[in-house]
Structure 1
């Protein structure tokens, strides 16, 4: 015996929704955090690079100006020998060396640092030759001419600084492109991941919800044979267990109802049989002849007794769950003859309301189950007489549509509301006019009529009508019945006997 495995989660629906929301947003959150960190790092590095480039460019440009000022002051002092020029020269020289030390300390690469050290060594040698009092005039002149070389070295430092800054800008652009490409890939991967996680959590939630929907539909359709099992979330699984308990309870109530109806129907049949037999004895004049008025009253008693017996049998049929599809072997039926016989049984209640039964028959014949077809027509005609207006007419019309035969029963009462066209075929349904009626039925006549119509391969429906209600029964003129249906019918007949 195969046992169904149940996959139950220890989470409730609310917890799973919250977890799913957190998990689904996790890839997007990681992608957003990664993008924020990468952009922040790139912006910080770019800002540092810009500041360093500005400092290096400004320092190298100022270095050219300062070496020019040092050369100018040195030449003025060498020509004029004025102590004021000497003091200015020494101040400008110290400023130049400090500026050169700053450039050497900047992180501008080994080439700029090497050129700065070369300029520093050459400038210190030149300054030493100028500051030494024992240096000859020819040597000082040579030292002054060396300023051209120092100026060229300063300009080389400036050009190299510009080149290094350009390289740094290009590197920043490449890094920005790589970062943009990486973020694009992360976003492209995070969106499918979020969609996949959304699909997974949707299935985890939708599966038990679908099981609950099927279970509720089964209960609504009256199918109580299958146990209800809901797998998945803990609270929905508990709800499934409660629905299964409800299913068992409905089965128990259905059995109690069936037992009660069988019991009460049996108890009603005994006195009803006595009434029918007593009426038959009176109608046969065993106790003496009856007056016409007494015969009329006796006919009323007999007809109502038969009607009451039909209601009891309808209750038994609807409550016992008998298979309406168990159709006996079909026979040829003359609709004119069958409808006239059924109409004769309803002449007395029709006469009581002064209702004319008008037959518009086309002489149709068909192969079907005569007993069930008679029950359908009897219920339709009984309803029409009950709900039509007094001193009006009930029309019974037959005809054919292609290979089908139809029978229409029309009355001149209040009719059936459009919203109740399908409800009237449900068990125990009562229209507002029936609820307020002096004589109320069981609400099973049309239900049984439609079930029998389906069993005969046809359909029973309410047709729109300008006045009163119109119900149409449409049946195939000839239908093949399986032998198994005849066997089921024989079993049903034997059980009811």
Structure 2
């Protein structure tokens, strides 16, 4: 299933940010809604509680004032006292109306209506007394009954306020739990969305990183296709174009190496034959100086032949995995033969060869093992200082043969160690390192050792370069 990406990487980031924020924004909005409802309910509850308490207390206070005014009026029969009673009655009616407008239970409504009717009846009997006039004791008892009923209404209102407060507290707790569970649910959702967006963003970047890494490693065979936003797809197309160009350059390099190597072999053969004829004194007896010059020609032609063979071998390795022709190989004899080829150079530089040979035989490709050992020995001879020593060790451990070559040269600089076995790498340290020359010898040696299932490494050394080759006693062909 192919993912439909937006046209630009920036748009993908914006969409991802928006999607990741959406659950959190929903949580914030929902929390704000719940809090607003809770605040409104709290405000209404407090307002109603204050109004109910104020009105209920006003009822009780006005009944008490009316009772006092009525008693004084019955005793003194002063019109001003009766007027005070009527004003208290009006305030009582106002308080009753305020209380009647508040939400109440049916029981509270019934008690409030009954209180109003009894107060009105008492007011009529005081203001418009019938014949005979009501007794003071009877009026006082009726006022006491009104006070008790008003106090009951006040108490009931207080109990109602307590119930509303409890409901409000329960609502607040329930809202808190809802918000908590909502947060616990939406945070994983937001994280999941963020992970999905991260995957969508990282996937094309990982593919691009892998493609660039392959280009850096010289693998130009696999086409580069980046599935992502439009600008990243365009970048992927540019990388594929670069891959095609690098592949063409690499093929041109391989063709050039093959052609140059083959072209150089023809004149080199003539030089080798001529130097050998001179050395054999076919053209006449040579003076000591002429013999020395003939030896120099022979050594130089051998070195040039080795460089050309390295180029040919490297070209072959690049196109085909090394094919092994297995046969028994006596490593000690092979080492002695290679040292004999360099006997003149060893003698001229007065190099001492320390042999730690243990008779060891392996089954492998004679030509390739010869190339490996020849590269190590030639490098050791080349970079060993005059009148120094080279140590060559051949042993076997368990099911592996161990070959070690430790020269007396300046060694390998730290900057060269990481790319020691890279093709064409020759280093740029202050000392002439072991990767000078064509830069192919160690690279080809590693290819051949790997083909045998072995390992070649550079061991730590206080002086000189110390190489170790581990080869199985019997290689297995692919």
- How large is the RMSD of aligned CA atoms in angstroms? 2.3
Q: From 21, 34, 58, give the equivalent of 1:62.
A: 58
Counterpart pick for 2:187 among 191, 213, 231:
191
Q: Mind listing any 5+ residue stretches in structure 1 that lack a counterpart?
A: 486-497
Is the Cα–Cα contact under 8 Å of residues 300 and 348 in structure 1 kept in the other structure?
no
Cα distance between partner residues in 1 of 2:227 and 2:273? 61
1:229 paired to 2:225: yes
The answer to whether the Cα contact below 8 Å between 1:129 and 1:140 also exists between their aligned partners in 2 is: no
Report deviation, 1:433: 5.2
Answer yes or no: is 1:117 the counterpart of 2:80.
Answer: no
How many residues are treated as equivalent by the alignment? 477
In the TM superposition, 1:419-438 aligns within 5 A as 420-432=416-428, 436=432
Aligned to 1:338: 334
Distance 1:144 1:425 in 2: 120
Are residues 1:9 and 2:5 paired? yes
CA distance in 2, matches of 1:419, 1:433: 7
Contact kept? 2:16, 2:194, Cα under 8 Å: yes
Contact between 1:315 and 1:444, CA under 8 Å: does it hold in 2? yes
Provide the rounded CA distance (Å) in 1 between the counterparts of 2:180 and 2:320: 67
The residue number in structure 1 matching 2:461 is 465
Scaled by the length of structure 1, what TM-score is found?
0.90
Does residue 1:323 correspond to 2:334, yes or no?
A: no
Higher mean Cα deviation, 226-235 or 251-260? 226-235
1:34 matched to 2:30: yes
Equivalent-residue separation in structure 1 for 2:314 and 2:205 (angstroms): 33
| CA distance in structure 1 between the partners assigned to 2:475 and 2:257 by the alignment | 34
1:361-372 correspondence to structure 2 within 5 Å: 361-372=357-368
Question: What is the Cα deviation at residue 427 of structure 1?
Answer: 0.7
* Displacement of 1:375: 0.8
> For residues 391 and 138 of structure 2, what CA distance do their matches in structure 1 show?
141
1:71 aligns with 2:67: yes
CA distance in structure 2 between the aligned counterparts of 1:65 and 1:421, rounded to whole angstroms: 103
User: Deviation string for 1:371-418 (max 9, x for gaps)?
Assistant: 111111111111111111122111212112122111111111111234
Q: What's 2:437 paired with? A: 441
Cα deviation for residue 143 of structure 1 reads 4.5
- Equivalent-residue separation in structure 1 for 2:383 and 2:190 (angstroms): 64
Q: Deviations over 1:434-493 (max 9, x none)?
A: 875899510111111111111122211111222211111111222343xxx5xxxxxxxx
Distance 2:150 2:129 in 1: 27
Q: Specify the SS of the correspondent of 1:425.
A: coil
2: distance between equivalents of 1:282 and 1:474?
41
Secondary structure at 1:390's aligned position in 2? Answer: coil
Asked if the contact 1:404–1:475 (Cα under 8 Å) also holds between the matched residues in 2, the reply is: yes
Question: What's the CA shift for 1:28?
Answer: 1.5
Superposed, 1:131-142 pairs within 5 Å as 131-132=127-128, 134-138=130-134, 142=138
TM-score (norm 2): 0.93
